[in-house]
Amino acid sequence: MFTNVGWSELLVLGVVALVVLGPERLPEAARWLASAIRKVREFASNAQQQLRDDYGTEFEEFREPLKQLNDLRGLSPRAMVTKHLLDGDDSLFSGDFGAAAPAGAPAVAAGAGTAGTASADPRRSTAPRTAGTAPVRDTPAPPPPSSGPVWDSDAT
């Protein structure tokens, strides 16, 4: 019901209620609010049950498109890509590549299929590096960053 209300907002509401109502009337107001919420929930539950009794299977057929719309409401572009293209595996976005594989994906051992071959890429190894060793590179390392931009006096 109040999915966007956090603890800090509830604390602010409580302090405001304490200031406005005072400590004498606050417990009675809290009881009244709790009973009002309970009555609203009971009314909604009874109305839903009455609709189910009156319409039977037609009510469920009506609810199915609403359920699909509600599912789409929570999808952001990131959630849509995760759900449809990545099968729910959001490690691409979170950077947690060591997480378990998504359901239905086969688990592959580190180095599987490359054992005994000379073409195994050591940069893709999942084995931890020991201290003092650098990764193997096929290309030379980039030059260290300079203190400022490169200035070409011949170009001006």
> Tokens 């509600």 identify what position?
70
* Higher local confidence (pLDDT), 127 or 18: 18
- Structure token digits, residue 29: 């107001």
Q: Which residues of 101-123 are buried (b: 16+ CB within 10 A; e: fewer)?
A: eeeeeeeeeeeeeeeeeeeeeee
Work out the widest C-alpha separation in the chain, in whole angstroms: 87
Task: State pLDDT tens for residues 61-105.
Answer: 877 888 888 777 767 777 777 776 777 676 766 666 665 555 555
* Higher local confidence (pLDDT), 154 or 45: 45
Instruction: Classify residue 91 by its DSSP letter.
Output: H
pLDDT at 109: 45
pLDDT at 148: 61
Domain range for 43: 38-92
Residues 110-126 have a mean pLDDT of 49
pLDDT at 113: 46
Instruction: Classify residue 122 by its DSSP letter.
Output: G
- Specify if 64 maps to a domain: yes
φ, ψ at 112 (rounded to 5°): -65, 135
Q: Provide the sign of the torsion angle of the four alpha carbons 136, 137, 143, 145, taken in this order.
A: negative
pLDDT reading at 110 higher than 50: no
pLDDT at 114: 47
- Specify if 105 maps to a domain: no
> Tokens 């193997």 identify what position?
136
- Specify if 51 maps to a domain: yes
CA 60 – CA 55 distance, rounded (Å): 9
- Specify if 10 maps to a domain: no
Number of structural domains the chain divides into:
1
* Higher local confidence (pLDDT), 10 or 83: 10
- Specify if 84 maps to a domain: yes
- Structure token digits, residue 146: 């300079």
Residues 103-111 have a mean pLDDT of 48
